[in-house]
Amino acid sequence: KAGVTQTPRYLIKTRGQQVTLSCSPISGHRSVSWYQQTPGQGLQFLFEYFSETQRNKGNFPGRFSGRQFSNSRSEMNVSTLELGDSALYLCASSFSPRGSEAFFGQGTRLTVV
């Protein structure tokens, strides 16, 4: 079956702009989580959605937001981009939030200039 699909794979934006990243989970998976990965901070949890509801949120400013649609697809938005937002953004899907193996997408490489 198809894996987790993230689009776009690469993105270059200018400071102050906003960006929307998309994640299509594995068919049947209802839980989607987002992570930011940078060389300095490693993998950091952003937020998690299950059945269109945000269940958990990491320690990120309000500029980072997300949502999940009825078909489990998810988007994350970053407004007023800063240089420090340059990172690999990873999406993971799982069947349920409880003890399920998480499957990660290839990520979206965001560069803010």
Partner 1 sequence: LAKTTQPISMDSYEGQEVNITCSHNNIATNDYITWYQQFPSQGPRFIIQGYKTKVTNEVASLFIPADRKSSTLSLPRVSLSDTAVYYCLVGDVSGYSTLTFGKGTMLLVSP
DSSP state of 1: -
Give the Cα separation of 54 and 102 in Å (integer): 17
Site string for partner 1, 89-108 (x = CB under 8 A): -xxx-x-xxxxxxxxxxxx-
Q: Which stretch binds partner 1 (CB under 8 A): 11-19, 42-50, 69-77, 78-86?
A: 42-50
Rule CB under 8 A: say whether 11 interacts with partner 1: no
Instruction: Give every CB contact of residue 71 below 8 A, 6+ residues apart in sequence.
Output: none
C-beta closer to partner 1: residue 18 or 73: 73
C-beta closer to partner 1: residue 39 or 80: 39
C-beta closer to partner 1: residue 58 or 79: 58
Rule CB under 8 A: say whether 38 interacts with partner 1: no
Beta bridge partners of 46: none
Which runs of E-coded beta strand occur in 18-112?
19-24, 31-38, 42-50, 53-57, 64-68, 74-78, 87-94, 103-104, 108-112
Rule CB under 8 A: say whether 60 interacts with partner 1: no
